[in-house]
Every structure is written in structure tokens, then in C-alpha cells.
Amino acid sequence: MLDSYAVIGNPIAHSKSPLIHTAFAQQTHQPVHYVAILAALDDFKSTVESFRHQGGKGLNVTVPFKLEAFQLSTRLTERATIAQAVNTLKFDGNEILGDNTDGAGLVRDIELNLGIPIATKRILLLGAGGAARGVILPLLQQKPSLLAIANRTPHKAETLQQQFSAYGNIIAGDFIHFSGDQFDIIINATSASLHDALPELPIGIFAQTILAYDMMYSREPTRFLKFAQLHGTRQIADGVGMLVEQAAESFFVWRNVRPQTKPVIAMLKSPM
Ligand code: NDP
């Protein structure tokens, strides 16, 4: 008998999660069966309930349901409570545990896979949507000297600054607000790359940057990563490592077993 897990979203056909979790299950010899489920936009809750009543053990939740998953959870981890978004559900009797592993995935990718400690670094986080919100606390827990949040609509960045100011040194503004400033790590958590667009960044922002990181992943470097490279950043990375690391963290939440991520990242990066 295999334990049943899935990723739920809309759209979902593009999801690499079934590939990743199947690789984890094979590698760790865990009895896991993992599929992708498309939920209608107005039918998230009943799709989850029907999966659960059929014996499903857990779900990964992706766009656009992370807030609904947060609301559906009967118990929340601290990181999910603070992110106000859930990407991992674990079903245990009557309990629905909601967790958020996105931030842990990003931190592990930057620190372990890319070898760049976050402590004492000056970080610029671009974007103030769901992905940005989910990574702020895990980034601050690594004790950067500064976390600047820049967003096209500045009041959303300022709201995040107020919400997280108790956890570290945060400033916020629009992109131009940071003209003339320098950062060690610049993370693109906007959805601009999905539309092959580039946030309107100040000239010179990458001059001292060690790492430019785009949460979006694609076969070719995104416009953001190409721009960063052209303007002086030393290293670029896309979000494939974060994707695999957040999946590994979910797998650990469900199975209490930590899979090896490097071979799975290599598999996703290799030409299919
Ligand atoms: P949201 O829709 O919640 O937020 C979108 C953000 O992008 C907002 O801050 C918005 O600014 C900004 N934005 C959109 N277009 C532009 C533009 N042209 N220029 C500047 N800013 C722009 O999206 P998410 O936060 O859920 O996702 C963001 C990205 O993160 C996506 O690319 C997603 O694929 C990726 N992601 C990757 C993960 C991984 O594991 N690798 C995990 C989760 C997300 P405004 O407020 O002004 O509208």
C-alpha cells in the first residue's frame, strides 16, 4: 500500500512536483504515490476534502490557493502563521496541519547549494506578493544586516516592513527608492519574469552584488538574471533549487525523512 500525496493548483499541468516527489520516494524507499490535482478556482475546499476522505495524507498547494489553504488549516506552524500562506498540508485524523516551506527552501538553496551565508549580508527582496511574504521570516532568521523590500506598489512593501519589523532590520520602498544603494544579495520575488518583463531597477544596483536570484525557473536565464550579469553581479541562480528544497522540506514534514536534493536538482537542470 502506497501513501497518497499530491500537488493542487490551477493551472497545474506544468508542475514539476510529481517528478520531484517521485524521485524523493524512490531515493528514500518511502511508500509514496504523488500526483497533480487541478482544482476549479471556486472548488479548492471540496477538492481537498474529497482527496482527504479518500485517504490522502498530504498536499502541496500552489497558485492561487495558498491563502485558502491557510484558512482551511486547523493547526499552523509558526512560519505559516507569520507568512499567512500555506504551501504544505498534512492530514492526521481530524487535524489539518498547515505549513509553509517556501522560505526554508530558498534559504537552504542559497546557503547550502550556492554556498553563500546570509548572516551579515545586505539583502534586497524585489516584490511584495505571496512568494515574498513567505520568505521574509526565514531570511531574517539567518540574521542579514539589512533586508530591503522593494515593490512596484510601495505601500505593499511598507505593510510587510511594518508586519515583520520585530524580526530584524527591514526597510521598504519602491525600486527607485534604493537608487545609489548597494546589496550583497538581490532576490527577484516578483512575477515579472513570468511575463518576460524586468522590474524597473535603478542603474548600478548590481555593482557590488554577489548573488542575483530569480525565484522563477526556466531553461534560459531570465531577463532579470541576464540584466544582473551584465551589470556586475558575480553569480546568478534561478528558482529550481528553491523548488526542490521546498519540496524536500514538505517531504520531511510528511515522512520525517530528508531526501537528498542535489541529484534531483541536477535531474531537473539536465536536458530532458
Ligand atoms: P504574486 O502575484 O503574489 O505577486 C506578484 C509580485 O510581482 C507583486 O509584488 C507585483 O507587484 C510584482 N510584479 C508583477 N509584475 C511586475 C513587473 N512587471 N515589474 C515589477 N513588479 C512586478 O506572485 P507570487 O508572489 O506568488 O510569485 C512571484 C514569483 O515567485 C513567480 O515568478 C513564481 O513563479 C515564483 N515562485 C517560485 C517558487 C519556487 O519554488 N521557485 C515558489 C513560489 C513562487 P505589485 O504589487 O506592484 O503588483
Domains and CATH numbers, the chain: 3-100+241-269 (3.40.50.10860), 103-238 (3.40.50.720)
Whether the CB of 156 sits within 6 Å of ligand 1:
yes
Distances (CA, A) of 1 to 26, 33, 55, 91, 231: 15, 9, 11, 17, 54
Q: Is 64 in the pocket of ligand 1 (CB under 6 A)?
A: no
Q: How far apart are CA 181 and CA 168, in angstroms?
A: 19
Rounded Cα gap, residues 72 and 246, in angstroms: 21
Name the pTM for this structure.
Answer: 0.95
**139 CA to middle of ligand 1, Å?**
17
What integer is the mean pLDDT of 89-99?
Answer: 97
**What's residue 272's pLDDT?**
65
Taking the C-alpha atoms of residue 219 and residue 209, their distance in angstroms, rounded to an integer, is: 23
Q: How confident is the model at residue 130 (pLDDT cuts 50, 70, 90)?
A: confident
Q: What is the pLDDT of residue 271?
A: 76
Mean pLDDT of 87-108: 97
Spatial separation of the C-alpha atoms in residues 75 and 97, rounded to whole Å: 5
Q: Write the residue with the smallest CA distance to atom 29 of ligand 1.
A: 191
Query: What are 163-200's pLDDT values in tens digits?
Result: 999 999 999 999 999 999 999 999 999 999 988 999 99
Q: Determine contact, residues 190/199, Cβ cutoff 8 Å.
A: yes
52 CA from centroid of ligand 1 (Å): 30
Q: At what angle do helices 262-269 and 17-28 cross, to 10 degrees?
A: 140
